[in-house]
Structure 1
Amino acid sequence: MTTSAEFMIVAGAENFDKAMYNSWESHMLLYIKGKKNGRIMLESIENEPVVYPTVKVDNIIRKKKYTELIEQEQLQDDCDVQATNIVLQGLPPDVYALVNYCQSAKDIWERVKLLMKGTELSYQERECKLYNEFDKFTSVKGETLHEYYLRFAQLINDMHTTGMIMQQVPVNTKFLNTLITEWSKFVTDVKLAKNMYTTNYDQLYAYLSQHEGHANEV
């Protein structure tokens, strides 16, 4: 039976945006960590799979069979296999087809990172694009405060998942200053009422939403 978390991973893979590698990585690591023996599976992603030790039998050196491994080695081998399967199942079909030949979770993870995240240059281009979107972000005529807030929240979330660090004050200032002119009086009020260093834009939205009726009248 597929759990809701597993369904979300598969569903997310079908609509995967390669530019959103960081978000995918974060969700996958959190999902694996929550599984039984999840922390051991995370080691499978960071390190090479367990190497079967050798044994000498009748003067012949061979690798041990699974049943001959000690309990800890068997557990690590099981986690290696499970981690590999989870990562493969969480991939979109086009990426899966390029990595399904890999035998270990570590190899798959590194290959996927290269395919989805791209080179350091493309990653920098992604950052530049988001900074540009932030600079040019503004309100759209006719949209509600809630719609404005959702667009802004999506942009900030994309910047965070890419690893970009945004200071609180510039984010809050951007959120307030790009509202349509009908909000100017209430923007002035909220700047006087709220500390821009300790308040986030979610709290600013909650405060402003209480006055949306008055802003609409204006």
Structure 2
Amino acid sequence: MPAVKTKRMPRAVREQQMLDAAVQTFGRRGYMAASMDEIAELAGVSKPLVYLYLNSKEDLFSACIRREAKALVDAVRAGARPDLPADRQLWSGLTAFFTHTARNPDGWSVLHLQARTHGEVFAGEVAAMRAEIVAFVTQLILAAARDAHRDPDLPAAEVAGLAEALVGAAESLADWANATPGVTARQAAATLMNFAWAGLGDLMHGRRWVPPADDEGDQQGSTSPVR
């Protein structure tokens, strides 16, 4: 009886399978503790095949960083619809950010914890992703200033500082949200909107940014008294 031939898996699919296993391993065990044997076993392939496809542990880690960074940036850009007012764009972008980091905690760990502490090459990959998000947030802040008709010409240094502060706060809040049971992406986004958009002054006076009731609808968020 002739042997049954199994269908060969396409290289691209096999490679993604290896990256999935690597992200999980790096995210949970850390770069130094993770082993290629462990990654190969989790991916269901031989260790020589991992080396054949991705060359080395360093190259594998870099590939994980690039994939996870692209996925995060794509999620934020897709979430912040350009047809919405500036505050709704920021709200939608933040919600997409926190949703993505909550659904992909290992990928977020690779980007925010592991890559930054294991060499300039890895840190540079993450810095490039972060710079893209900061540039995107900068444009949202400029759009908000134009919408407010108050100060459409904010100093460039001030806008840059605000964007850096907002992105830094989002990164820290994502760590907190992932480590705190019961915190949803929507709650995390609302917390940051109240801190960044309404401001501590308004919060102390009982006014906060109210998330839209239906994220798919056209209702706009607003700053209003707490009921």
Query: Is the structural similarity TM-score above 0.5?
Result: no
Shorter-chain TM-score tier: 0.3 to 0.5
Q: With the length of structure 1 as denominator, give the TM-score of the two structures.
A: 0.35
Give the number of the structure whose alpha-carbon radius of gyration is greater: 1
Higher relative contact order by CA 8 Å / sep ≥ 6: 1 or 2?
1
Q: With the length of structure 2 as denominator, give the TM-score of the two structures.
A: 0.34
